[in-house]
Amino acid sequence: MKRKYYQREVIKMSCVMDVAEILDLLYKHGWDERNGGNLSYLLEEEEVRDIVKEEVTLKTFHYNFDLTPLIGKYLIITGTGKYFKNCLKDPSNNLGIMKVTDAHTLSLLWGYDDGGRPTSEAPTHLKCHIERLKVDSKHRIVIHCHPTNVICMTHVHDLDSAHWTKDLWKMQTESIVVFPEGIAVLPWILCGGEEIGEATAYKMKEYRSVVWAQHGLFCTGRSIDEAFGLIETIEKAAEIYIKICDKKIYQTISDENLQLLAHAFNIDYRKGIID
């Protein structure tokens, strides 16, 4: 009885509800169809205080790479094969609260009630958290989704990161403001494997967003709002590109305009693209 009460109380936690609500929103935007996409969220100490009081390991999951930088940290991670549309109404089956207990182990403290396990992309998420924390101590979230227009662009645009960055900066005034470091783009690589995880984490040393060709987008941030806003802005710019890429262009944002914008807003943008 005590455990059931504890489960109900965890569901009410704001961090769980915040994650469930953003997953529902991602689904409603059409960016996470079926069981597509995944999310991991680093929890602050005050968010897990009640969990720690009754910390019970329900199950452990082992990985063959070094998790040492994350030892002692807690995360909410979406389950493998789970549909984002179900997370808000049934978080305890679709989400798990995990603790990194040693250099190779995640311990499940809550969730996956139906016997599930973390997303198959968990290694990529964990590696991205490690790299982002090296450059931003306030980093907290990784979201993987399948925005339609971003995927469309990977079919009709070259996969050079600098070219993508410049073209999306030019699509709308806010682009360079929201993602001044640019966007990294990877060619098609088998998902769920070690190669794509390593490649994505490597790009995360310099970028908060990484495009997977013909697949989707990985975005990170200091908060759910920041990461979601990054996805929204990139997808909006990609949508504009797809709508106009085959049309005659009469005017656009020039390199000089972008430089002026960056100076006016004191933006430290990636050099070598519009300079």
From 9, 44, 47, 121, active-site residue: 121
The reported pTM is 0.93
Query: What is the pLDDT at residue 192?
Result: 87
| Residue 121 is a catalytic residue | yes
Q: Residue 62: which H helix or E strand, with range?
A: strand 59-62
Q: Residue 268: which H helix or E strand, with range?
A: none
Task: Check pLDDT > 80 for residue 66.
Answer: yes
Q: How far apart are CA 210 and CA 82, in angstroms?
A: 23
Query: What is the pLDDT at residue 207?
Result: 98
Confidence of residue 7 (pLDDT cuts 50, 70, 90): low
CATH architecture, range 1-119: 3-Layer(aba) Sandwich (3.40)
Asked whether the beta carbons of 210 and 218 are under 8 A apart, the reply is yes
Q: How far apart are CA 38 and CA 79, in angstroms?
A: 8
Average pLDDT score over residue span 122-144: 97
Tens digits of per-residue pLDDT, 13-61?
789 999 999 999 999 999 999 999 999 999 987 887 766 666 788 999 9
Query: What is the pLDDT at residue 5?
Result: 40
Tens digits of per-residue pLDDT, 96-130?
999 999 999 999 999 999 999 999 999 999 999 99
Q: How far apart are CA 252 and CA 217, in angstroms?
A: 26
Starting from the edge strand earliest in sequence, which strands make up the sheet with 38-42, in order? 59-62, 105-111, 95-102, 74-78, 38-42, 141-145, 216-221, 209-212, 184-186
Tens digits of per-residue pLDDT, 145-199?
999 999 999 999 999 999 999 999 999 999 999 999 999 999 999 998 899 999 9
Query: What is the pLDDT at residue 46?
Result: 80
Tens digits of per-residue pLDDT, 242-261?
999 999 999 999 999 999 99
Mean pLDDT over the full length of the chain: 93
CATH number of 121-275: 3.40.225.10
Where are the domain boundaries for CATH 3.40.225.10 in the chain?
1-119, 121-275
Tens digits of per-residue pLDDT, 194-222?
999 999 999 999 999 999 999 999 999 99
